Structure 1
């Protein structure tokens, strides 16, 4: 088994976190890997995401060129 890079490890953890988030749940995400998890949520899973500063409705990072 090969060693994963730090970036690959973080993505693997973020994907696992996304799987574990409950459909219809409210999630308060911290900075770092927890924030990455929203990039891996399935389209059919609905989560209310709150940032550390209390803002609701945040989501995956923007694709390159999107406003």
Structure 2
């Protein structure tokens, strides 16, 4: 949706996390038609900061794959 990436980046910035890399993934994987998957690497202050960022984004309606689970 238009503006979704901007809202995501703004929310991450308001939580004092820094976006180091971002990749837009379209058309394949576990996403529905009309959705876009975004993969990001964030700079945080530690595990508790990661949890706060994750929980805040989920509350705002973003679907987040658990960043605390090893790949």
- TM (normalized to structure 2)? 0.30
Select the structure of larger CA radius of gyration: 1
- Tell me which protein shows more strand as a share of its residues: 2
- TM (normalized to structure 1)? 0.31
